[in-house]
Structure 1
Amino acid sequence: MIRITAWRRHPLARYAVLILALALVGMVYAAFVQAGKPADAAMAAGKVDDVAEGKSLFVAHCASCHGLNAEGTNTAPTLIGVGAAAVDFQMSTGRMPAANPGPQAPRKPLAPWVNEDSIRQISAYVQSLGGGPQVPGAEQVDAKLGDAGRGGELFRANCIQCHNWAGAGGALTQGKYAPNLNSSSPTQIYEAMVTGPQAMPVFNDTTITPEEKRDMIAYIVQVREQKDPGGFGLGRIGPVTEGIVAWVVGMVALVLAAIWITAKKRQKS
């Protein structure tokens, strides 16, 4: 007792008690957080069973590249922390599961087993592994609620360098490219901004707010619904296609004119 009393009166005793208390609080908090992760992800996805079903689908169709626990392999990156939005984007556009390795996974038709339910379930499972951006709600991607004029300013400032002013896409380095946005749904556009697929940078809510993202979606939807009353759109790629058409049409016109002039001279002689 005398020894215990002496330790209690030691100058460092208060610090030892404080450290012990903080350690206990930390362990209790970590236990609650780990226990709540799958439930939180399942609630976000809509069903409590989605995480378990998603894990089964992941092991069957995705683990060969991403690892049994989504830790990543030499073939594919880890999925821990990428969030449900990344999974929903990659699978709903047909980019995943990937058919062949390459600089960039192209958009393609969905695999036979990929549907709304399987995408939701795998998204919930990946979300449970480490959080990350979640699939946006309907109001976040509703183009009718956005300001297309403001969205156009943001799009021209951040996106046209790769995607072209009309979202027609364009070539990048090392075999990569910025895809055409005409086939992308508002949800997929939002998910691409918050997850940064392929060579695209991540535009988090600090860089571009959710309201500004919705404005950009409104602009993209408005532009791709516009008609081309002045003639052919030529893919809306810009001066490259316009220059090629002008050159080809001009050269053909010059050749035909030369043939016509030569034929007239022969008739006179």
Structure 2
Amino acid sequence: MLSARLSAGRRSRIAGPVVLLLALLMTGGFYSAFAPASAEDAATEDQVSQGRELFLVGCSSCHGKNGEGITTESGQYGPSLVGVGAAAVDFQVGTGRMPMAAPGAQAPDKAPVYTEEETAALAAYVASLGPGPAIPDAEMYDPDTIPEDEREEAIVRGGEFFRTNCTACHNFAGTGGALPGGKYAPTLVGVEPVHIYEALITGPQQMPVFSDEVLEPEQKRDIIAYLQSIEEAPNYGGSGMGALGPVSEGMFAWVVGIGSLVGFAIWIASHTARTSRKGAQA
């Protein structure tokens, strides 16, 4: 009776696919159970573990023990870090913006608190919380990877993109500018190319996100090449006065230029008056 049922089951149309599926599941299960972990996976696990320890000590008071963020009655104390990606951590921690000394309108850049190894561990831990932008490779942001015969053209393209998308906040020379609410667009002079690229793909603070759908990776690299070119270019006109445009130039003209003329006029008038009085007494 039993053998007859087994024979009938083997003749069923779904018997073959079911047996194949079971065999694949058993093979995968045995491989996962007994295959040794690769050195890279072990290193990543150790890095994530180290990053979590650092996070609990230095970041959890604002962002929560699991990076879920903290909200108070007055508003958000620390945003959620789930899905921000390793690039956001590398930018914020690598430029010293995080951890913040105190809550404010904007986190200023300062000397980093963590070492490069600790920053990488923090980035690995936050990346494990949810998918997000990864730390870019050098080929994506380093202008030195652009062929020499294409570099000039890349700088021209980067200048066009920068003037179209960035000058409203960062100034035409990348020196930064003031924004409403006590915020500001920081200077881009002297900033590491990797941090500029990370800012473009993560949109820190009030900056918009320039995803690959908005600006392709090559276009982002062209912008960085343009910024380096204007930083290295000599200033043939003398002092650039911070390259802040008509504000600084107008202030210099009024205070130094017109102020000097007014001072000379007062001096001449007072000197002439003293001379006239001496002549009258004689």
Q: TM-score range by the shorter chain?
A: 0.7 to 0.9
Measure the CA separation in 1 of the matches of 2:178 and 2:210. Answer: 21
Corresponding residue of 2:189: 182
Aligned pair partner of 1:256 in 264, 268, 280: 264
Corresponding residue of 2:173: 166
Corresponding residue of 2:220: 213
Measure the CA separation in 2 of the matches of 1:246 and 1:235. Answer: 15
Corresponding residue of 2:125: 125
* Paired-residue identity, %: 49
Aligned pair partner of 1:57 in 49, 54, 58: 54
Aligned residue identity for 1:252: S
Aligned residue identity for 1:119: T
Q: For structure 2, which runs of at least 5 residues remain unmatched after alignment?
A: 1-24, 26-31, 33-38, 72-76
Aligned pair partner of 1:105 in 104, 107, 113: 107
Q: Give the alignment of 1:86-97 within 5 angstroms.
A: 86-97=88-99
Structure 1 position 267, deviation (Å):
2.1
Structure 1 position 227, deviation (Å):
2.2
Corresponding residue of 1:3: none
Larger Rg: 2
SS of 1:49's partner is helix
Corresponding residue of 2:87: 85
Cα 1:203–1:168 shift into 2, 3 Å: same
Q: TM-score, normalised by structure 1?
A: 0.80
Structure 1 position 50, deviation (Å):
1.0
Deviations 1:131-186 (A, max 9, x none): 10011111111123251110000000000000001111001011110001113100
Deviations 1:83-109 (A, max 9, x none): 000000000110001101011011112
Measure the CA separation in 1 of the matches of 2:138 and 2:45. Answer: 21
SS of 1:174's partner is helix
Structure 1 position 53, deviation (Å):
1.1
Structure 1 position 233, deviation (Å):
0.9
Of structures 1 and 2, the one with the larger relative CO (CA 8 A, separation 6+) is 1
Aligned residue identity for 1:253: L
Q: How many residues align?
A: 231
Structure 1 position 195, deviation (Å):
0.2
Structure 1 position 256, deviation (Å):
1.3
After TM superposition, the runs of 4+ consecutive aligned structure 1 residues lying more than 3 A away are none
Structure 1 position 43, deviation (Å):
5.9
Aligned residue identity for 1:159: C
SS of 2:181's partner is coil
Structure 1 position 261, deviation (Å):
4.0
- Cα RMSD (Å): 2.4
Deviations 1:163-216 (A, max 9, x none): 001111001011110001113100000000000001000000000000000000
Corresponding residue of 1:10: none
Corresponding residue of 1:228: 235
| Residue 143 (structure 2) pairs with residue 143 (structure 1) | yes
